[in-house]
Amino acid sequence: MTLLAHGVGSRTDLPIPLGLALYGAGAAILISFAALLLFWRAPKLGGPSSGRPLPAGAQRVLDGPVLRRCLQAVALALLALVIAAAVAGPGETARNLAPWALYVTFWVGLVPVSLMVGPVWRVANPLRLVHRILRPLAPTAPGAHRLPALGLWPAAVSLLVFLWFELVYPDRAGPGTVAAFLVGYAAVHAGLALWFGEGWFASGDGFEVCSTLIARLSPWARRDDGRLVLRNPLANATATPQAAGLAAVVVVLLGSTAFDGLSRTVWWQTGPGAADDPLSGTLGLLGSVAVISLLYLLGTRLSGRLAGQPAGIQPRRYASSVIPIALGYTVAHYFSLLLLDGQTTWILASNPFGAPGVDLFGTYDDAVDLTAVSPDTIAYVQVGGVVAGHVAGVTLAHEQALRSQRHARASDQLPLVVVMVLFTVGGLGLLFGF
C-alpha cells in the first residue's frame, strides 16, 4: 500500500519556494493589520435578508421535488456502482475505481462544486432518498425533538470518523475498506435519519454539512423569506446560522487538512510519524485538531473578553470566518490531487469491473498525465489559496465583530486576528515543508 497521507495518490507536491512562503506570510500579516485599522467601521455586508432573487420559475424547478429525486437517484446509482466496483472490481488499488472515486473525485471535488453551484450535496444526497424509501418503517421519527439540541456536533463526529479512515487507517486505499466504509456510512446515517427524522442529514451527515458550509462562500443563498438569491459570498458566509457545533466542524476540517500537510513533511516522516502506524496517525490527527481548536478558542474568547462580551458565544459567532481559511488549506493541499491523480477516476470509469475488452469511453488505456499542471502553477495556487482564504477570514471576522458591537474597537479583535495569522503562517510552513 502507498504510504502517502491522503487516501490515495501517486505523488505529492514539491515544497513551495522559501521566497513565495515568506511573501505569502508577509502579505497575510500586512493585510490583517490593514483590515483592523483601515476597513469599514460599521457593518457593511448584507445580512440574511440581502440578495438578488432568482426568477420564480427557476426557484420552482430548483426547489421542486422532481429535480431533487432525479439527482438523488443518479447519486444513489453512482454510489451503488462504486460499492459494486470496490467489491467486484480489480483487487489492486491502482486499478480499482472505488478509492479514487471516493477520496479524490467525490471528497475533493465536492469542494469546488459546492463553491460554484451551492450546497449541492443537500440536494443530491442519495441517503435522503434511501431514508425516504425506508421511512414507512419508522414514520414517527421518535428522536426528532432531540435533534435541535445536538446542533452540528454529529456532523463534526461523522467527518472526524471519515477523515480517520482517509488519513490514518492503514488499509485506507484498499477497495474492501472503501466498500465497507460506504456501506457502513449509508447504513448508520439512514438508520439515524429514521430515528431523528430527515433533519438528521443537515446536522449529522458530514459530507452534506461540509458541502453546505463550503457553499456559504458561493454566491448562491436562501434569503430569510425563503427566496433563492444571488449575493456577495462574504455576505452569504456572514449569514451562516450560528448553530452549536459549527466551530467544531470548521476546526475538524482545518485540523485534518493541517495533519495531512504535516504528515507529508520530512520532519513528521522521520520524527513523530516514523512508525507510520495507526497510533501515531491517530495521535497526529487528534493532536492537529486539538491544537487548532485550542488556538481558535483562545483567540475568540480573548477577543470576546476584551470587548466585554460573554465568552461562551464567541467560538460559534466567529466560526464562519474560519470557513475560508479551511477552504484555503483545502485548495492548497488537494488542488493538484484533483487535477492530476483525479484523472485516474475517469480512466478507470471506462471499465469499472476490469472486465477484459470493456472500454466504455475509450480511456481505459490512457496514462495519467502528471505533468498537466506545472509545479510553478501549483505553488502559486497553493500560496494564493491560503492567503486569499486568510484575507476573507479576517474580513469576515471584522464584519462579525462590528455586528456584535457597533463601533467595536480594533484592538479587541487583535487576539483572533493573531490566531488567524498563526493558522496562515503555519499553513504556509507546512507547504514549505519546514
Task: Please tell me whether residue 13 binds another protein under the rule CB under 8 A.
Answer: yes
The residue length of the chain stands at 434
At residue 197, what are phi and psi to the nearest 5 degrees?
90, 170
> From the CB of 133, what's the least distance to another protein, in Å?
37
Residue 73 amino acid letter: A
Contact string 267-286 vs another protein (x = CB under 8 A): --xx----------------
Task: Please tell me whether residue 246 binds another protein under the rule CB under 8 A.
Answer: no
> From the CB of 326, what's the least distance to another protein, in Å?
24
Q: Among 77, 80, 266, 358, which residue interacts with another protein (rule: CB under 8 A)?
A: 266
Collapsing DSSP to helix, strand or coil, 221 comes out as: strand
Q: Which of 387, 325, 415, 311 is nearest to 36 (CA)?
A: 415
In contact, 41 and 402? CB cutoff 8 Å:
yes
Give CA–CA dist 293/306, Å, rounded: 20
CB within 8 Å of 417: residues ≥ 6 apart = 32, 33, 35, 36, 299, 394, 397
> From the CB of 425, what's the least distance to another protein, in Å?
22
C-alpha cell at 262: 504535516
Per-residue three-class SS string for 48-60: CCCCEECCHHHHH
Task: Please tell me whether residue 355 binds another protein under the rule CB under 8 A.
Answer: no
Task: Please tell me whether residue 374 binds another protein under the rule CB under 8 A.
Answer: yes
Give CA–CA dist 329/318, Å, rounded: 18
Task: Please tell me whether residue 14 binds another protein under the rule CB under 8 A.
Answer: yes
Contact string 51-90 vs another protein (x = CB under 8 A): ---------------------------------------x
Contact string 93-112 vs another protein (x = CB under 8 A): -x------------------
Contact string 306-345 vs another protein (x = CB under 8 A): ----------------------------------------
Give CA–CA dist 428/419, Å, rounded: 14
Residue 186 amino acid letter: A
> From the CB of 284, what's the least distance to another protein, in Å?
17
Q: Among 3, 187, 311, 355, which residue interacts with another protein (rule: CB under 8 A)?
A: 3
> From the CB of 4, what's the least distance to another protein, in Å?
7
Q: Among 10, 49, 405, 411, which residue interacts with another protein (rule: CB under 8 A)?
A: 10
Write out the binding residues for another protein, residues 182-211 only, by CB under 8 A.
none
C-alpha cell at 207: 459530507
Residue 259 amino acid letter: F
Residues that bind another protein (CB under 8 A): 1-4, 10-14, 90-92, 94, 264, 266, 269-270, 367, 370-371, 374-375
